[in-house]
Amino acid sequence: MIRIPTARTALLVVDMQNGFCHPDGSFGKAGADVSGCADAIPGSVALIEAAHAAGVPVYATRAIHEPGLADWNMLAELPMYAGLVELGSCEEGTWDAAFVDGLPLDEQDRIYSKSRFSPFVETTIDADLRAAGIENLVTCGVGTSACVETTVRDASQRSYRTFIVAEGTGDISLDAHEHSLALMGSLFGYTVTLEDVLAAWSEGGGDAS
């Protein structure tokens, strides 16, 4: 049985932004069905509120790009991202790059901007987590098969114990979402339910075992 810990634990919220989750965001305008990403909003809200109540620190990431996605040649060159180049996806200071409405982040939460799928590539998040004594990461956000999975893989390789919350994650493809949850839960961490986390944190958590 896996018990969700509270001690030495942080909540990691990945890229809950308008560009990915809102139908008027850049992904929606480029033709993607973002309803699966929007499905992650209620779970992410509940997790942030529960973390604040339990004294679990919250770390959140956001994808930020230069015009034309010029900060990452892969995004700028691959055909599947062509529509996003024209739309100026997740450019700093835009509504597209902002967190979705109702996400209850506050001034005590740590925010990291990144241009890659994983914040472990180009931010100080690893050093900051270690300085805070964090060993466990409860993870939510979008997209499950891209930024969330890449983040979980990188966290696992750095010896963080990772818990991926099924109802707090979402993707533009349900098949990709489900496949990624299964993969992460078998190779890189533990796939858990929102109920698991809320119950554990309301009780003070415990050790993973």
Model pLDDT, residue 67: 81
Place of tokens 């990188």: 154
Q: What is the mean pLDDT of the chain?
A: 92
Furthest C-alpha separation in the chain:
49
Map out the domains of the chain with their CATH numbers. Answer: 9-202 (3.40.50.850)
Considering Cα of 47, then 115, then 23, then 166, what sign does the dihedral take?
negative
Averaged pLDDT for residues 176-183:
98
For residue 67, what is the DSSP state? G
Whether the bond into 19 is cis, omega within 30 of 0:
no
Among the listed residues 69, 72, 74, 78, the one whose alpha carbon sits nearest the alpha carbon of residue 26: 69
Rounded to whole angstroms, the Cα distance separating 99 from 60 reads 10
pLDDT tens per residue, range 111-123: 999 999 999 999 9
pLDDT tens per residue, range 132-155: 999 999 999 999 999 999 999 999
DSSP 134-177: --EEEEEEE-IIIIIHHHHHHHHHTT-EEEEEEEEEE-S-HHHH
pTM given for the model: 0.93
